[in-house]
């Protein structure tokens, strides 16, 4: 007699997750989404409830124009290239 085993569920692909979200947005329930996409109901629910895009990295603290002003100031003279960060902050404000 064989021992019972838990079925292995594969992870959803990006396309399957997007299809599940689309079907859910038009009003289908998780059970119908699961049967149509051949996935489990829990996978359909997870795909619809988790955020689609994850924030990667960090945003720049200063914009490009401020970066250009900083670059121009530092490159303007030898003294400006040797200035400390604290003095640089006070010089630019």
Q: Can you give the pLDDT at residue 85?
A: 86
Q: At 54, give phi and psi (nearest 5°).
A: -105, 135
Q: Stretch 54-68: mean pLDDT, rounded?
A: 80
Q: What is the pTM of this model?
A: 0.50
Inter-CA distances, 44 with 8, 10, 25, Å: 16, 12, 12
Q: Name the helix (H) or strand (E) containing 91.
A: helix 85-92
Tell me the Cα Rg of the chain.
27
Q: Stretch 2-13: mean pLDDT, rounded?
A: 74
Tell me the domain boundaries of the chain: 14-49, 61-93
Using the CB atoms, write b or e for 4-29: b if 16+ within 10 Å.
eeeeeeeebeeebbebbbebbeeebe
Q: Can you give the pLDDT at residue 89?
A: 84
- The model's pLDDT over 17-53, given as tens digits with 9 standing for 90+, comes to 999 999 999 999 999 999 999 999 999 999 999 887 6
Q: What angle do CA 44, 57, 12 make, to 5 degrees?
A: 20
């Amino acid at each position: 007699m064989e021992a019972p085993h838990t079925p292995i569920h594969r992870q959803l692909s990006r396309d399957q997750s997007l299809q599940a979200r689309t079907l859910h947005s038009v009003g289908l329930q998780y059970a119908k989404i699961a049967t149509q996409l051949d996935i489990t109901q829990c996978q359909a629910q997870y795909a619809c409830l988790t955020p689609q895009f994850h924030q990667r990295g960090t945003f720049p603290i200063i914009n490009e124009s401020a970066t250009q002003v900083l670059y121009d100031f530092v490159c303007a003279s030898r003294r400006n290239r040797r200035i400390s960060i604290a003095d640089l902050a006070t010089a630019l404000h």
